[in-house]
């Protein structure tokens, strides 16, 4: 790879991994961070980037990105400052074949945009019937295994965890009891009652979370719980952590800001899986992310217009998120009066640690995956302003702050605005 | 009243006009004639006429809201009253009673509505006031007052608790 | 949040739900309906209000009864009525709901009367019309999923007002499968808006929505407690598919706990009225002696339903 020697000047550098928040220059050589503050000996910059008034931070790491079409979504990723992303296995077809995983990895490497980390299917075809070939999938590039949103019975889950634990693979689960959630499309609360929508009770999440925690502690598998939606759900994880268990979790950025009330009059853009819950749940999720119990993810799910212009219960769940991850994290930080150093950790070093990848930090020698953004620049979320093919989000029409100016992956400028 | 208001006109005594209207109608009455008042002013006048003419049959009440030709522009009138025709219209001589005759559109609507109850022998029209300015080929058979007013002026009849009728003139933009 | 049923002047332009409608709008509909009652007694049971207008009955879910009442109401307003049985035609060919609507707009529809199995489908159509800038096309919800059946709610209110005159001191019990009932939601919204003194939601926990008390009702699991001293009893139909054992052990057991028998009804006020949106399951939610008894006003509901639907259609089409 031919990379330039780069110097990013006059920026406010925020590196949550090292706790650094200062006006320091960044020096990049051979695709890696060569130095911070003072240039290394003999360094001459081929390009100097003036980042006056801007913030330089590690490229964002997203724990859950559904790609749909690879190229536009990876372009959307770097436009949103995301340089590494984990892709859940519920692609079409599911990531249960090493060949599929290899193709995905190769394709994304060729594009040279964001780095893609596939999550392999835990079971063949995600059907919950028999275990997937985890070793072959890991060799092909999978960094963890998951059932995505598909159900799995408890016995097979136990076996899958035992098998994964044998080889040291991490297991990710979106905790939702398939029976309690059956047919549900919204939080089983006031709004679902009023609108006559079938409810998903909080117990669907807590029952599945408790099951996953019990089986994980029995098998010793490294467990990550994806997209918790309820106060009771994060409370269970907090309790498990206090008892010394190595479990991680994340919260989707939408759930940090929205609640069931945002469904309004059947707005299918507010249809999520798991559903948006009560305001008290949202507040508990905010607390969990603030204390560092949970990381944040974009839960990026491109859905086309045909999938959303349907009655609420028939509409596909999910929203576009890659390009909103940073602005919505900044919004939360401002609302919670949280230092950026703390807030940005949830979308950089914390998810990198969960994924076990060398990313999300600006330490010397690490890959030069960098995001340069203007924290104050406002922009309006519209179908045109989003690069993703997924145009649906509850934020459509809203103005947000925080615009990515430049994204580097391995020292290469992959996005510049 | 503002300075550019229309020249004040003397508003006549509506109760006296009712008596005058009864006098006009009396020679033309047939034994089976019935009165139909148009909501709301016409109903008050028809009730008064029934007393004065000592008619046995109950008067009919008609609200033309469902027959108006301005529904497309204005929508349904916000205070629709039920129409009540407590007699057989078929073959009956009817006198339609209204307080003010103006464009003729209300009368047209009322005639149409009456025909949905049957085929009357005849329909005559009695009004207290005739403003002229007709938009349809309709005229009153009995009228006590010919008055010219500006389009911005509205002649309104009201009834107090004792059934005493009174004219007022309202100005609207 | 702007109520999508009202135009910029606060006038009713679609009827999608009772929820969020001001009391004055409900009262206006009921008052207008009382004028239409008389029209149905005439020789010519027709007024020319909607002459030249095309009303499309678009029923994605079968309901001959409801469709017929809307058809009669539209015809008495002199509208041209086109019945579309969408359950069989377009959706089978992969056409989406909004495709169907676009096609009907191209056929110069003035009003859609929509029945759909999914909650919110009429809202989706109204929102689509708003985006197309077609404020001249109106939507009337004839029942969407579990969400709302606003004309049924209004005709129930008309019936209650007819027999009880005023809502202020009324205690109303809504009994049965409230969870799956759009009628219950519309009735509860209408009753709370019109100021009923107390609305009781009566049924087993399996048939009551989680947060039903947030709709302003008192929850009673015991039918006796629910009926005691009430003025109005609204019985809900128990759908056959609810009796398969998942929510209730059996129809017989349900009747034993929640069936309205003469003995149970005796707990209500002596002049209490009994309502049912129909069709009734005799011996499941209601005893025949009650259904045919002097307190039942179920057939009045049907008669009033036509006038109420005439009122709704003539009001929305004019705004």
- Give B112's contacts in chain C (Cβ within 8 Å): 48
Minimal CA separation from A187 to chain C, in Å: 10
A-chain residue closest to C96, CA distance: A310
pLDDT mean over C189-201: 98
d(CA B49, CA B97): 9
Q: Which residues of chain B make contact with C39, given a CB cutoff of 8 A?
A: 66, 83
Q: Calculate the CA dihedral of residues B140, B143, B145, B150 and round it to 10 degrees.
A: -20
Judge whether residue C111 has pLDDT over 90: yes
Strand partners, C115: C59
Q: Does A265 touch chain C (CB under 8 A)?
A: yes
Residue C203: count other Cβ atoms within 10 Å of its Cβ. 27
Query: Would you state the pLDDT for residue A345?
Result: 98
Tens of pLDDT, residue by residue over A45-95, are: 999 999 999 999 999 999 999 998 999 999 999 999 999 999 999 999 999
Contact C210, A192 (CB under 8 A): yes
Q: Give me the helices (H) in C52-120, please.
A: 64-76, 97-106
Residues 67-96 of B with CB under 8 A from C: 67, 71-72, 74-76, 78-84
Determine whether the interchain pair A197/C124 forms a contact, defined as Cβ–Cβ distance below 8 Å: no
H/E segment holding residue B76: none
A299 is catalytic: yes
Q: Is C154 helix (H, G, I), strand (E, B) or coil?
A: helix
Residue B1 scores a pLDDT above 50: no
Tens-digit pLDDT profile for residues B4-43? 555 567 899 999 999 999 999 999 999 999 999 999 899 9
Please count the residues of chain A: 417
Distance CA A407, CA A56 (A): 10
Which among C127, C182, C214 has the least Cβ separation from residue A196?
Answer: C182
Q: Does C41 touch chain B (CB under 8 A)?
A: no
How far is the C-alpha of A176 from the C-alpha of A146, rounded, in Å?
A: 13
Cα torsion for B97, B102, B108, B110, to the nearest 10°?
-30
pLDDT per position as a tens digit, A236-250: 999 999 999 999 999
Give the predicted TM-score (pTM) of the model: 0.91
Task: Say yes or no for a CB contact (<8 Å) between B118 and C43.
Answer: yes
* DSSP-derived 3-state class of residue C306: helix
Contacts of C47 in chain B (CB under 8 A): 66-67, 113, 116
Tell me which residue in A189, A201, A311 faces C121 most closely, judged by beta carbons: A311
**Residue A1, pLDDT above cutoff 80:** no
pLDDT of residue C59: 93
Q: How far is B60 from chain C (nearest CA, A)?
A: 13
Q: What is the pLDDT of residues C36-91, one digit of tens each?
A: 998 888 888 899 999 999 999 999 988 889 999 999 999 999 999 999 877 765 55
**In the predicted model, what is the mean pLDDT of residues C202-229?**
97
Inter-chain CB proximity A314 and C148 less than 8 Å:
no
What's the Rg (C-alpha) of chain A? 21
Q: Is B99 on the interface with C (CB under 8 A)?
A: no
Q: Is B98 on the interface with C (CB under 8 A)?
A: no
Which of C8, C9, C138, C314 should one mutate to test binding to chain B, selecting the residue with the greatest count of B CBs within 10 A? C314
Q: If you count them, how many residues does chain B have?
A: 173
Enter the DSSP assignment of C84: E
Chain B residue with minimum CA distance to C312: B76
Q: Which whole-number Å values give the CA distances from A65 to A23, A193, A323, in the listed order? A: 32, 31, 11
Hey, are the CB atoms on C42 and B117 less than 8 Å from each other? Answer: yes
Q: Chain C within 8 Å of B107 (Cβ-Cβ)? A: no
Q: Does the distance separating the beta carbons of C44 and B117 come in below 8 Å?
A: yes
Q: What is the pLDDT of residues B117-166, one digit of tens each?
A: 999 999 999 999 999 999 999 999 999 999 999 999 999 999 988 889 99
Size of chain C, expressed as the number of residues it contains: 319
In DSSP terms, which residues pair with B95 in a beta bridge?
A: B35, B124
Residue A255: pLDDT over 70: yes
Q: Judge whether residue A2 has pLDDT over 70.
A: no
The minimal CB distance from C42 to the residues B79, B112, B116 is found for B116
- Cβ contact, residue pair B66, C48, below 8 Å: yes
Distance from CA of B134 to the nearest CA of C (A): 23
Pick from A42, A76, A48, A44: nearest CA to A62: A76
Shortest Cα distance, chain C CAs vs residue A388, angstroms:
23
Q: Does the distance separating the beta carbons of A189 and C119 come in below 8 Å? A: no
Cβ separation of C182 and A265 shorter than 8 Å?
no
- C267 and B CB contact within 8 Å: no
Compute the average pLDDT of residues B41-58: 95
pLDDT over threshold 50, residue B3: no
pLDDT digits (tens, 9 = 90+) for A109-120: 999 999 999 999
pLDDT category of residue A190 using cuts at 50, 70 and 90: very high
User: In angstroms, rounded to a whole number, what is the distance separating the alpha carbons of residues A355 and A390?
Assistant: 25
Nearest chain C Cα to B113, which residue? Answer: C47
Q: Mutating which of C2, C117, C120, C121 best tests the A interface, going by the most A Cβ atoms within 10 A?
A: C120
Distance of alpha carbon A157 from alpha carbon A150, whole angstroms = 12
Strand order in the sheet with A247-252: A60-62, A82-87, A115-121, A144-146, A170-173, A222-225, A247-252, A294-297
Is A306's Cβ below 8 Å from some Cβ in C?
yes
Specify the pLDDT at position A148. 96
Q: Are C118 and A313 a contacting pair at CB < 8 A? A: yes
pLDDT tens by residue, C231-286: 999 999 998 777 767 888 888 999 999 999 999 999 999 999 999 998 999 999 99
**Residue B2, pLDDT above cutoff 50:** no
**Average pLDDT, integer, range C200-226:** 97
**Interface touch A193/C215, C-beta < 8 Å:** yes
Which residues are bridge partners to A29 per DSSP? Answer: A32
Test the C interface: residue of B69, B75, B114 with most C CBs within 10 Å: B75
Interatomic CA distance for residues A228 and A286, integer angstroms: 11
Q: Do chains B and A touch (3 or more CB pairs under 8 A)?
A: no
Helix count (H) and strand count (E) of chain A?
Answer: 13, 20
What does the mean pLDDT of chain A come to?
A: 96
- Residue identified by tokens 């005849």 is B122
- Do the chains contact at B66 and C319, CB–CB below 8 Å? no
- The predicted pLDDT at position C40 comes to 85
| Residues of chain C neighbouring A190 (CB-CB closer than 8 A) | 211, 214
Question: How close is the nearest chain A Cα to the Cα of C212, in Å?
Answer: 6
Tokens of C148: 């709302």
Residue B116 to residue C11, Cβ atoms within 8 A: no
pLDDT > 70: what percent of chain A?
100
Q: Using one digit for the tens of pLDDT, what is the confidence trace for C175-188?
A: 999 999 999 999 99
* CB neighbours of residue C11 within 10 Å: 17
**Which of chain A's residues have a Cβ under 8 Å away from the Cβ of C4?**
265
pLDDT band at residue C295, thresholds of 50, 70 and 90? very high
For chain C, percent of residues with pLDDT exceeding 70: 97
| Mean predicted confidence (pLDDT) in A145-166 | 97
Q: Note whether B84 contacts C314, CB cutoff 8 Å.
A: no
Contact C147 A313 (CB under 8 A): no
State which residue of chain C sits closest to B115, comparing Cα positions: C44
**pLDDT band at residue B79 under the 50/70/90 scheme:** confident
For residue range C128-187, list pLDDT tens digits in order: 999 999 999 999 999 999 999 999 999 999 999 999 999 999 999 999 999 999 999 999
The chains found to touch A (3+ Cβ pairs under 8 angstroms) are C
Q: How many CB pairs under 8 A join A and C?
A: 78
Residue C86 has what pLDDT? Answer: 78
Which chain B residues have a beta carbon less than 8 Å from that of C35? 63, 65-66, 80-83
Q: How far is B40 from chain C (nearest CA, A)?
A: 14
Pick the catalytic residue from A25, A90, A299, A369: A299
Mark whether B and C touch (3+ CB pairs within 8 Å): yes
């Amino acid at each position: 790879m031919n990379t330039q020697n780069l110097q990013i000047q006059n920026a406010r550098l925020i590196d949550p991994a090292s706790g650094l928040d200062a006006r320091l220059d960044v020096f990049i050589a051979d695709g890696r961070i060569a130095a911070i503050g003072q240039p290394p000996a003999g360094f001459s910059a081929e390009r100097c980037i003036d980042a006056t008034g801007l913030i330089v931070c590690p490229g964002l790491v997203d724990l859950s990105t559904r790609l749909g079409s690879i190229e536009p979504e990876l372009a959307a990723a770097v436009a949103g400052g995301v340089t590494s992303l984990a892709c859940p296995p519920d692609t079409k077809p599911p990531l249960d074949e090493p060949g599929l995983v290899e193709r995905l990895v190769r394709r994304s490497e060729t594009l040279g945009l964001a780095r893609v980390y596939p999550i392999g299917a835990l079971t063949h075809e995600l059907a919950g019937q028999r275990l997937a070939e985890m070793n072959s999938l890991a060799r092909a590039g999978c960094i963890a295994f998951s059932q995505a949103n598909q159900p799995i019975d408890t016995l097979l889950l136990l076996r899958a965890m035992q098998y994964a634990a044998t080889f040291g693979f991490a297991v990710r689960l979106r905790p939702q009891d398939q029976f309690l959630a059956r047919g549900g499309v919204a939080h089983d609360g006031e709004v679902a009652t009023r609108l006559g929508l079938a409810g998903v009770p909080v117990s669907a999440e807590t029952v599945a979370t408790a099951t996953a925690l019990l089986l994980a502690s029995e098998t010793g598998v490294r467990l990550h719980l994806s997209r918790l939606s309820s106060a009771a759900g994060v409370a269970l994880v907090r309790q498990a952590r206090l008892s010394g268990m190595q479990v991680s979790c994340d919260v989707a950025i939408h759930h940090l800001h929205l609640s069931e009330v945002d469904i309004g009059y059947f707005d299918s853009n507010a249809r999520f899986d798991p559903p948006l819950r009560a305001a008290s749940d949202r507040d508990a999720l905010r607390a969990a992310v603030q204390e560092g119990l949970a990381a944040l993810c974009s839960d990026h799910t491109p859905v086309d217009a045909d999938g959303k212009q349907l009655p609420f219960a028939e509409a596909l769940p999910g929203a576009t998120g890659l390009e909103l991850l940073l602005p919505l994290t900044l919004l939360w930080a401002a609302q919670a009066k949280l230092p950026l150093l703390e807030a940005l950790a949830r979308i950089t070093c914390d998810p990198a640690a969960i994924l076990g990848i060398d990313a999300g930090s600006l330490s010397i020698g690490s890959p030069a995956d960098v995001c340069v953004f203007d924290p104050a620049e406002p922009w309006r979320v519209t179908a045109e302003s989003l690069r993703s093919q997924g145009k649906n989000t509850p934020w459509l029409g809203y103005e947000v702050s925080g615009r990515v100016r430049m994204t580097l992956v391995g020292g290469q400028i992959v996005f510049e605005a | 009243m503002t300075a550019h208001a229309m020249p004040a006109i003397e508003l006549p005594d509506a109760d006296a006009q009712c008596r005058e209207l009864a006098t006009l109608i009396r020679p033309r009455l047939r034994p089976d004639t019935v009165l139909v008042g148009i909501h709301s002013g016409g109903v008050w006048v028809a009730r008064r006429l029934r007393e004065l003419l000592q008619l046995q049959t109950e008067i009919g009440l008609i609200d033309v809201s469902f027959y108006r030709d301005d529904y497309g522009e204005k929508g349904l009138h916000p205070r629709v009253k039920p129409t009540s025709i407590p007699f057989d219209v078929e073959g009956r001589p009817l006198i339609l009673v209204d307080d003010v005759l103006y464009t003729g559109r209300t009368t047209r609507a009322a005639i149409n509505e009456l025909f949905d109850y049957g085929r009357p022998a005849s329909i005559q029209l009695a009004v207290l006031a005739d403003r002229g300015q007709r938009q349809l080929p309709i005229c009153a058979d009995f009228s006590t007052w010919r008055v010219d007013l500006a389009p911005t002026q509205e002649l309104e009849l009201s009834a107090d608790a004792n059934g005493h009728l009174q004219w007022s003139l309202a100005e609207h933009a | 949040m702007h109520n999508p049923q009202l135009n910029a002047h606060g006038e009713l332009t679609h009827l999608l739900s009772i929820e969020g409608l001001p009391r004055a709008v409900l009262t206006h509909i009921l008052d207008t309906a009382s004028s239409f009652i008389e029209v149905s007694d005439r020789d010519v049971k027709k007024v020319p209000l909607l002459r030249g207008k095309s009303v499309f009955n678009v029923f994605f879910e079968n309901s001959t009864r409801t469709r017929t009442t809307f058809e009669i109401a539209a015809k008495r307003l002199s509208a041209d009525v086109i019945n579309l049985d969408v359950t069989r035609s377009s959706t089978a060919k992969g056409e989406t709901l909004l495709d169907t609507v676009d096609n009907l707009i191209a056929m110069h529809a003035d009003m859609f009367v929509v029945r759909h199995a999914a909650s919110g489908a009429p809202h989706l159509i109204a929102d689509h019309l708003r985006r197309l800038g077609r404020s001249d096309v109106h939507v009337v919800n004839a029942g969407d999923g579990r969400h709302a059946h606003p004309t049924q709610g209004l005709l129930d209110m008309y019936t209650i007002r007819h027999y009880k005159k005023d809502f202020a001191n009324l205690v109303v019990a809504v009994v049965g499968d409230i969870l799956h009932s759009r009628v219950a939601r519309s009735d509860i919204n209408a009753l709370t808006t019109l100021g009923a003194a107390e609305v009781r939601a009566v049924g087993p926990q399996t048939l009551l929505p989680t947060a039903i008390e947030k709709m302003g009702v008192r929850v009673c699991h015991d039918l006796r407690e629910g009926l005691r001293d009430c003025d109005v009893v609204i019985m809900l139909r128990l759908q056959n598919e609810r009796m398969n054992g998942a929510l209730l052990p059996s129809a017989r057991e349900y009747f034993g706990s929640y069936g309205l028998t003469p003995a149970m009804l005796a707990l209500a006020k002596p002049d209490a009225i009994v309502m049912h949106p129909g069709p009734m399951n005799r011996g499941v939610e209601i005893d025949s002696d009650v259904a045919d008894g002097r307190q039942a006003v179920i057939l009045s509901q049907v008669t009033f339903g036509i006038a109420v639907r005439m009122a709704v259609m003539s009001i929305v089409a004019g705004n």
